[in-house]
Amino acid sequence: MKTIAVIGLGGRGSMYARRFNAQGAKVVAVCDINASVLEHVGNTLNIDLDKRFNSAEELFACGKIADALVVASQDRDHYGHAKRGLELGYHVLCEKPVSPVREECEELADLADKMGVHMVVCHVLRYAGFYDSIKKVIDSGEIGEVTNIQQTENVGYWHYAHSYVRGNWRREDETTPSILAKCCHDLDLLYYYTGKKCLSVTSIGSRRIFIPENAPEGAPLRCMDGCPHYKDCPYYAPHVYYKPTLHSIPIYFFRGAQVTKLGNPTIKQVKEALKTYSPYGRCVYHCDNDVIENQTVLCKFDGDVNATLTMNASSRGCFRRVHITGTKGELYGRDIDGKFTLNVFGKGKKTVKSKVGQGHLGGDSGIVGDFIDLLENGKMAKRMSVMRETLMSHLMAFAAEESRKDGGTTKLIK
C-alpha cells in the first residue's frame, strides 16, 4: 500500500486525504498552519501525533516520510512546497494553479525530470465522465478534425462571491488572477481536447458588480451590522452560510471550517464568526477584491483551431457549456447534465451520456485512482496532466492577463 503525505488541509487537501484512504492508499502524515484544523483532520484520519505538522518546515525537516506528497496549500505556496517535495524525491500531486510565475512553473517541470519523479497537476475535469467522453469522441474521429471550440464557465453568483470576493482568491497580489485560479481547468481542456499547441491569445475582461459604487444605501461593512437590505440581498451572509433560502446555497455544510478557521465548528460558532471576524461576513460591495468577474479569452491553436473561453460570474448555477465543431460533425452540452448531443453530419444526432459523480463531476476520485495506479504500477494514464504538459494552460492564462491589461491586444505564446 502506497503512503501519502498531505500539506494543506482546507477543502481540497482534506478531500484528497479522505479519497486516498478510501481508494487504496494510506495517508500517514498531514500538515497545516491552522492548529484546530490540523487536530480535527488528524483525529479524523487517525494520524500519529508525531506525523502531524504545523508548518511545512517541520514536515520537510523529517525528510521523505511517504511515497507521495499532495500539495494543497494556498496558491502562492504551491511552488515552494512542490519544489521541496521534488527535491526530497517525493512524487507530487499538486493543486492548480501551480504558480502565477512562468519561470517557477518551468523550474518545477525541469526538477521533476531531473529527480526522476512524477509531478501531476490536479486538472481534475479531465477525469470527469462528461469530459472523458468528449475526449474519446474527438479521438475517435467521429466529428473529423476539430475546427472550433466554445466553452463557457458559469461560476455561479454565490460561488464567485464566496471565493473571489470574500474569500481566499479575491486579490491577485495574494493569489493569482481569476482566469488562472478558476479557469486553468478550462484552458487545459481547450488544449487537451486536441493536444495542439496554443499559438496566440487575445482577452478582455471587466469588474462591474462587486464594487463599492454598487453598495445599496445604508449597507454596513458587515452583513450582520444591521443591513436594511438583508431580506432582498442574495449575498446576505446568514442566508448563504447557515440559513439558506429557496434561492441560495447551504454552503455551511461544507464551508464551516473555512468561515471560522476552526476544525469542526458549530452553527453558533459560524454565526459568531460571520458577525465579528470572518471575512465571509463582509458586505460583498465593501471587500478588498480586485480580480476580474467576467472575462473572454480567444485562442488560436496550431492546425487552424480557434477556441473561446468565457468566464461568467453572474449565473444561478455552477456549470460549463461546451460546443465543439469539426469537419464532420459537432457536439454540444452542459457538464452538469452529464450528457451531450453528438451530431455527425448526414447521419443524424444522438445523446452521449456519462456518469455524474461527486467532486468535480467525479473527477476528484478519478485523478486519485489514476495517481495511485501510477505509484503502484508506473502506469501513466493518457488523461493525466503532468507538470510538463500543464505548462500550456498556465502560459495561456499568463498571455490572457497580459492581453487584458494591455487593452485586448494579441499576445504570442513562446
Is 370 inside any structural domain? no
Rounded to two decimals, the pTM is 0.93
What is the pLDDT, as a whole number, of residue 255?
65
Residue 73 grid cell = 496549500
pLDDT at 38 over 60: yes
Regarding whether 138 and 116 lie in a shared domain, the answer is no
Report which DSSP code applies to 218.
T
Residue 336 grid cell = 452538469
Segment 226-272, tens digit of pLDDT? 999 999 999 999 988 887 766 666 655 556 888 998 988 988 999 99
What is the pLDDT, as a whole number, of residue 52?
98
pLDDT at 120 over 80: yes
Regarding whether 306 and 184 lie in a shared domain, the answer is yes
Regarding whether 134 and 114 lie in a shared domain, the answer is no
Segment 15-30, tens digit of pLDDT? 999 999 999 999 999 9
Is 374 inside any structural domain? no
Rounded Cα–Cα distance for residues 70 and 47 (Å): 15
Residue 324 grid cell = 465543439
- Mean pLDDT of the residues in the chain: 94
Segment 137-187, tens digit of pLDDT? 999 999 999 999 999 999 999 999 999 999 999 999 999 999 999 999 999
Regarding whether 199 and 130 lie in a shared domain, the answer is yes
Rounded Cα–Cα distance for residues 19 and 387 (Å): 22
Regarding whether 65 and 200 lie in a shared domain, the answer is no
Regarding whether 204 and 132 lie in a shared domain, the answer is yes
Helix (H) or strand (E) holding 403: helix 387-405
Quote the domain boundaries for residue 253: 215-281
Contact predicate 386/373, CB 8 Å: no
Regarding whether 115 and 40 lie in a shared domain, the answer is yes
Is 377 inside any structural domain? no
Regarding whether 87 and 8 lie in a shared domain, the answer is yes
332: Cα separation from own chain's centroid: 23
What is the pLDDT, as a whole number, of residue 144?
98
- CATH number, domain of 338, equals 3.30.360.10
Beta strands in 252-388 (DSSP E): 294-301, 305-312, 319-326, 329-334, 339-344, 349-353
- CATH number, domain of 56, equals 3.40.50.720
Mean pLDDT of 114-137: 96
Rounded Cα–Cα distance for residues 259 and 348 (Å): 50
Contact predicate 159/390, CB 8 Å: no
What is the pLDDT, as a whole number, of residue 258?
86
Rounded Cα–Cα distance for residues 55 and 42 (Å): 14
**Can you tell me whether residue 97 is helix, strand or coil?**
coil
What is the pLDDT, as a whole number, of residue 254?
54
Is 402 inside any structural domain? yes
Q: How far apart are the first and last CA of the chain?
A: 42
Boundary (domain end) residue, out of 281, 305, 337: 281
Rounded Cα–Cα distance for residues 59 and 6 (Å): 10
What is the pLDDT, as a whole number, of residue 247?
65
What is the pLDDT, as a whole number, of residue 156?
92
Boundary (domain end) residue, out of 121, 138, 160: 121
Segment 320-371, tens digit of pLDDT? 999 999 999 999 999 999 999 999 999 989 999 998 878 888 889 999 999 9
Is 362 inside any structural domain? no
Query: How many domains are contained in the chain?
Result: 3
For 406, phi then psi, to 5°, come to -100, 20
